[in-house]
A and B are shown apart, each in its own frame.
Chain A
Amino acid sequence: MPESHALIELEGISKGYDAPDSGAPVYVLNQLNLTVSAGESLAIIGPSGSGKSTLLNIIGTLDRPTGGKARLDGQDLLALGDAALAELRNRKIGFIFQSHHLLPQCSVLENVLVPTLASSDAAVKQGAEERARKLLDRVGLGPRLTHRPAQLSGGERQRTAVVRALINQPKLLLADEPTGALDRAASDKLADLLVELNKELGVTLILVTHALSLSARMNRALELRDGALIPATSETRA
């Protein structure tokens, strides 16, 4: 069962860009607040350009807000430097993108192990390969360990990316349109997998999606509109 303390706390988060003509800032996120508990699964939905990916990037420390406060597992994200953020990402966050972004030159197993290279934590490194094998077995890729990404189907590539995201046993899994590039069957299979992993491993899952069926399977769904999050209505969720 998921733990109940807040893993993510966003308070008054804003993100704006200068307009090319007037130079006045245009806000994508405006005084946004969000709290996500550990073990929770959350879907963020919203129209294109509403700032979903930007929000996910801020949570994942790939981007910085122009205002507000952001905490992850009690740590103030805005107080950390680039190196500390990289380490934080490596230890606590796993990413899944719409495109798998696997390294074409590495095998499935190697791709999964790539994040361990960036870790300075011996404990993480220890048994990483064993863990990778188990996880890959778990997602049905046991027989594909030595295959290159080019030799996999779209669904398999995305499952590899999921395992890569989990290899360092993160507390938070962020998925940006994870099923966006998959067909229906592969999408469903991946959705099942994410939900199962959320439950089995207790990892907090936040995903951005247009797929209503996927959002419906999360504990909670929020809609990003006009720079703020509002609970998704049954219309938007269904």
Chain B
Amino acid sequence: MTPASLALRGLTFHWRSHLGVLLGAAVGSAVLVGALVVGDSVRYTLHRMALMRLGQVRYAVASGERLFRDKLADDLAEAVQALAAPVLQLPGSVVRSDRAARANNVQVLGVDGRFGKLGDGEALVPGPGEVILNERLAAQLAAKFGDSVVLKVNKPSGLSRDAPLSTEDDATIRIRLTVSAIASDLGFGRFGLQANQVPPFNAFVSLKALQKAVSVGPRANVLLLGGGEAVALEQAEEALKKTWTLEDAELEIREVEIPAAGKALELRTRRVFLDGFVAEQALNAAPGARGILGYFVNEFKAGEQTTPYSIVAALGPPLVPEDTKDGEIVINQWLADDLKTKAGDRITVKYYVMGPMRKLEEQSSTFQIKKVLPIEKEAADKELMPDFPGLKDAQNCKDWDPGFKIDTNKIRDQDEKYWKDYRGTPKAFVSLKEGLSIWKNRFGDYTAIRYPFEAGAKEKLTAELRKNLDPKLAGLVFMPVRDQALKAGDQAQDFGQLFIGFSFFLILAALILMGLLFRFSIERRASEIGTLLAVGFTPKLVRRVLLLEGMGLALVGGALGVGCGIYYARAMLYGLSTAWHDAVGTSALFFHAEPATLAIGLCSSVIIVMFTIWFGVRSQARRPARELLGVGTGVGSEAASAPAKAIWSTWTGIACIVLAVALVAWAGPRRDEAAAGAFFGAGFLLLTAALTLGAALLAHLGRAQSPQLSAAALSVRNMARRRGRSLATLGLLASGVFLVAAVGANRMDPKEGAMQRTSGTGGFALFAQSALPLMHDLNSPAGRDAYTMTKKDLDGVSFVQLRLHAGDEASCLNLNRAQTPQLWGIRPEALADRSAFSFSSFADGHADKANPWLLLKKTETDGAVPAIGDANSVTWALGKEAGDTLDFVDERGKAFKVRIVATLATSILQGGLLIDEDRFIERFPSESGYKMFLIDAPPERAVEVTAYVSERLEDFGLEASDASRRLAEFSAVENTYLSTFQVLGGLGLLLGSIGMGVVVLRNVLERRGELALLRAVGFKKSTLRWLVAGEHGVLLLAGLLCGLIAAAVAVVPALRSPGADIPYESLGWTMAGVLVSGLVWTWLAVLLALRGNLLDGLRSEGA
């Protein structure tokens, strides 16, 4: 005989009374384990999705509009002995040929067999004229094998489309293709470089066919590396440095023939303007380097004489002598004749400079003619004209398309003749210094750099440039996409914790129920404990025996719970895939349980159950043996506690109420974290107040002497008799009701107050996104005209346009932790003028509450770019807070930091970070145009405007919708979480009400003798039932009421905010359910406890 065997005997002998405890432990453990397994499953799903979308890809170069040779992939593959694939990835949209369905924001991917090899499974390779759609895109289009679809693809431009000298007419092309297959998730259909559980719309086409269609030659803009043995990032970068060529940076060194002056070497770029970092290196790459800036001007004017549309070159000697001063110009003889001018005369040059949104500002400069040159030798050099896309191939002047409207009426016959004879030979020359000061722009300073020609110079120059130029600066930056993807999944929202949070009350209710049952079972065995104490067991040893018994229960219950937890997790995953779909945005959740998780769940539940049991056992073994053996006097029961305790309870309760009211008053009409903290704080204080005041009241009632004994007084006395038990019932119900009601009141109705500027929509009626960038200012008549939109149709409508740098979706719609979120470039004044949106928090030292949007314009001391983000995105999707910084890499491979200077209260701007447009352009000069739009429109015309802009901008894949709808999508996630909490909290409450029934049963069974006595002295059985049910009904009502009052007061800050949406109906039903369930269980317990002949109880007591 050992304490353990004694415990084992107790365990087996009292198995019936332990059954309830076991069930409680199993429920608690199942819910805990289930929540953890949900976490495992979501993590596993994200991990699996990451691997599905990347296949064997480890690193990727995504150079956007900068194109490199597709052969670079082969060179790299050979260098590192791995698999590499070039991809031409272009944004586009797809529409069914019958126009029955369309999809915007499609990733059009030009791929070949090399791409297929990087997939994990059987990746299909499209042939010419074919397109393979991924499952999501096929579903969107309802397309199947053999269907015909039209792809609209953004054509990459060498010169940024933002530049006025780039053309817009050929910005997009249409390709009609036949669907040859549907790529499954395992067939690389999910391919994408951004972490998101929702796959992108992917259309795979033949690389060669796409290259041909968009006229880029054998070039690509995405390079994937992976497969085989793991290649280190440094190794890949080293290999890239060895294998890249100038062509991969869109640079070309060519030999040019200068009339009568022989050959020269010239460095040019497909991008027209040489990047600053290239020019810097190139000017020092070889002796005699000369920079050239060619520009297209609108007009030369001398007196009344004008010459339209010409090329001017800014360069050095010999065309522009060294001694040329500022304000002097050299012109050719043709121009001098045309303007009827000579050296020493003054001429005015009119030209456009580039403003934002392709806004052209015509400016002019006046020069004095220093010299007139005949069109010969260097002055006859046609190659000085840059390769402006709309000019270089034009047969005559009327075919010009410089990217802005030109007045063809101004073009005269002599101009056509000049073009025919001399093409773009500059008509005028200014010093490089002068030219740069007027025409340098964000795309670059020079259009060419020339070097003296000599044998072997080209090779030498190439080698020198390759040596000094970092391929990263040309956008050839390897991103460790696989690591990032896995990290995004690993750091994702922990659904395990989330569901533990949701299930918290359910677990608590199960534990309280279990604790009560165990305690009751121990109470029934009071004499057993008394005997042990009497025969010399110390209370500690008694506790040990009981705890050992409890441990057995905890282990068995825990093990049962693990089994049930797996089913509970499956049920939760089913919920997440169906009713709670909005919370995860995907229906493809894979069940996965890590053995370690199950072990952790089991251990945690055993520990929690043990603690609960210890809590129940603790006081029992402390009671004196004589009391337990029923041989004492029976004095010193709970009801006779010291009045001092009751006074202390009263004051504690009052203090809690005062503090709660103060907290609520302080929080005001906020919905930020501070308000949430105040909400829970106030709620907790009010609940504490309810319990402490309840304790004081019960203590008072227990001591109170009724002048006349009545049935009601007897009931009250009974409530006070088992004060701890009554308080546990009250506390369980009150806290459950509080949690369910208060959390429910946090639901948001996005439509409520949506037109207010301070609301989550910023007061904007519509939100739009386009697949292809829009270049023009949609608020200007010219911009609207460019898209054939009329002033009349857009009367009262205004746009705020945002640039978009692709990145991870940093919103609650993405389960992954966004590693590099999207960046949105915006003119802060546009939002500042409207006082749009509400701010939630500010970084230290950035609290410019008067004009917070202008924080984006401020200069940070460490050079970081200030950013503003939605508080939910920042907190949950990025795991950051105001003041934190994130690392980004700009278009030239240069790292920069973005500091979150402020956060917005729940808004439609979830998903990315807003930065100042100028800073966006500085860092991503090639990323042209606008893809996001906030649209102000009169509410009554919102539907009409949505249809109008969607139709007019259909070619750009623009989708406009109610801003409140976007907010609703985000709110749906939060609201779904709240629903989940409500459902699980409701289950907890149900369990709590069963606990109430158990308490009633126990109370009545304990008092069976007394009740028998009342029966003996003439009380009717029905009266006794009502007596008992009444006293417990009061407890039930008191619990509900305390919980509701605490919730009502605590949610005042949330209720005051716009969009607050209390689900009165569902809350009402929940409360009614709890009340009914509680009453039913109470009544059942009463019936059960008072069944049979009560008087027998009386006799057995006396026996």
Contacts and interface: CB of A to CB of B under 8 A. Distances in A.
Interface of A: 17, 20, 53-54, 57, 60, 62-63, 82-83, 86-91, 93, 95, 97-99, 101-106, 110, 113-119, 164-165, 168, 176, 181
A118 B536 contact: yes
Interface string B504-538: 00000000000000000000000110111111111
Interface string B1-26: 11100100110111000000000000
B631 A57 contact: yes
A93 B533 CA distance: 12
B539 interface: yes
A162 to B, nearest CB: 13
A105 B534 contact: no
A134 B552 CA distance: 34
B629 interface: yes
Contacts of A165: 535
Nearest to B3: A117
Contacts of A117: 1-3, 6, 537, 541
A63 B632 CA distance: 9
A116 B6 CA distance: 12
A118 B6 contact: no
A114 B6 contact: yes
A75 to B, nearest CB: 15
Contacts of A97: 534, 629, 631
Contacts, number: 98
Contact of A99 (B12, B527, B539, B633): B527
Interface residues of B, number: 34
B1 A86 contact: no
A16 to B, nearest CB: 11
Nearest to A86: B538
A20 B12 contact: no
A62 B534 contact: yes
A116 B385 CA distance: 109
A101 B13 contact: no
A95 B632 CA distance: 15
Nearest to B11: A105
B538 A176 contact: no
Contacts of B630: 99
B527 A104 contact: no
Interface in B533-586: 533-541
Contacts of A118: 532, 535-538, 541
A110 B9 contact: yes
A164 B624 contact: no
A99 B631 CA distance: 10
A89 B632 CA distance: 18
Contacts of B12: 105
Nearest to A103: B528
Contact of B530 (A20, A89, A101): A101
Interface in B98-118: none
B536 A89 contact: yes
Given A97-B534, A99-B629, A114-B532, 18 more contacts: A53-B626, A53-B631, A57-B632, A62-B533, A62-B626, A86-B539, A87-B538, A101-B534, A103-B9, A104-B528, A105-B13, A114-B1, A114-B531, A117-B1, A117-B3, A118-B537, A119-B536, A165-B535
A90 B535 contact: yes
Contact of B537 (A63, A86, A176): A86
Nearest to A88: B536
A115 B528 contact: no
A83 B626 CA distance: 16
B13 A104 contact: yes
B625 interface: yes
A54 B537 CA distance: 20
Contacts of A17: 633, 635
A168 B537 CA distance: 13
B534 A20 contact: no
A224 to B, nearest CB: 15
A119 B2 CA distance: 11
Given A17-B633, A86-B537, A104-B13, A62 B624 contact: yes
B640 interface: yes
Given A57-B631, A110-B9, A82 B536 contact: no
Q: Lowest 3 CB-CB distances: which A-B pairs, in order?
A: A90-B536, A105-B13, A115-B535
17 contacts: A17-B635, A53-B631, A53-B632, A62-B624, A63-B624, A86-B536, A87-B536, A90-B537, A91-B536, A101-B530, A101-B531, A103-B528, A104-B528, A117-B537, A118-B532, A118-B537, A164-B535
A101 B528 contact: yes
Interface string B627-641: 001111101000010
Contact of B640 (A20, A82, A83): A20
Contacts of A20: 640
Most chain A CB neighbours (cut-off 10 Å) among B2, B533, B626, B1103? B626
Contacts of B629: 97, 99, 101
B9 A101 contact: no
Contacts of A104: 13, 528
Residue of B1, B3, B528, B629 with most chain A CB atoms under a 10 A cut-off = B1
Nearest to B535: A115
Contacts of A181: 1103
A181 B535 CA distance: 21
Nearest to A164: B535
B535 A95 contact: yes
Interface string B298-333: 000000000000000000000000000000000000
A106 to B, nearest CB: 6
Nearest to B7: A105
Interface string B334-362: 00000000000000000000000000000
A113 B1103 CA distance: 29
Contact of A105 (B3, B14, B541, B624): B14
Contacts of B626: 53, 57, 62-63
A112 B635 CA distance: 31
A178 B632 CA distance: 16
Given A62-B624, A89-B536, A103 B531 contact: yes
B534 A176 contact: no
B539 A115 contact: no
B1 A113 contact: yes
A114 B535 contact: yes
A125 to B, nearest CB: 10
Contacts of A164: 535
Contacts of A102: 531
A135 B625 CA distance: 26
A60 B534 contact: yes
Nearest to A58: B626
Contacts of B530: 101
Contacts of B625: 62
Nearest to B541: A118
Nearest to A177: B631
Most chain A CB within 10 A, of B10, B533, B537, is at B537
A105 B538 CA distance: 20
B534 A82 contact: no
A95 to B, nearest CB: 5
A115 B533 CA distance: 9
Contacts of B624: 62-63
Interface in B611-626: 624-626
Contact of A176 (B527, B541, B631, B640): B631
A14 to B, nearest CB: 15
A98 B540 CA distance: 26
Nearest to B630: A99
Interface string B226-245: 00000000000000000000
A101 B625 CA distance: 12
A14 B633 CA distance: 15
Nearest to B13: A105
Nearest to A107: B9
Contacts of A60: 534
Contacts of B538: 82-83, 86-87, 118
Contacts of A89: 534-536
Contacts of A91: 536
